[in-house]
Amino acid sequence: MAVKVYKALADPTRRKILQLLRQKEMSAGELADHFESTKPTLSRHFSILREADLIQGNKQGTYIIYRLNVTVLEEAMWGMMDMFNVKPRGENE
């Protein structure tokens, strides 16, 4: 799972999608308004993020509403901090 998460985070477009979803849940169309990419390209980005469990999509009528899965993102960040022996600010060494 960690490999999928890090692969998903490696792309700037996917990181931007996560930043947008951090603000609020959005439909695929609302997210697409922030990019110049084609819908099939964005759909692939959404798919990679879903496979990594970084986002979840729920169908509401004819729309898919995406939300950030904060738990998986936090676990990835803690894993990277541990890998590079980075301590959170304020933590004594």
Checking if the pLDDT of 13 tops 60, the result is yes
Checking if the pLDDT of 93 tops 60, the result is no
Is residue 73 very low, low, confident or very high in pLDDT (cuts 50, 70, 90)? confident
Q: What is the 3-state secondary structure (H, E, C) of 6-59?
A: HHHHCCHHHHHHHHHHHHCCEEHHHHHCCCCCCHHHHHHHHHHHHHCCCEEEEE
Q: For residue 4, what are its two tokens?
A: 């999928």
Q: What is the pLDDT of residue 40?
A: 94
pTM reported for the whole predicted model: 0.85
Contact 48, 8 (CB under 8 A): yes
Q: What is the pLDDT of residues 54-70, one digit of tens each?
A: 999 999 999 999 999 99
Q: List the CATH code of the domain at 2-83.
A: 1.10.10.10
> Can you give the residue ranges of every domain in the chain?
2-83
Over residues 29-42, the mean pLDDT reads: 95
Query: Looking at residue 65, what DSSP letter applies?
Result: E
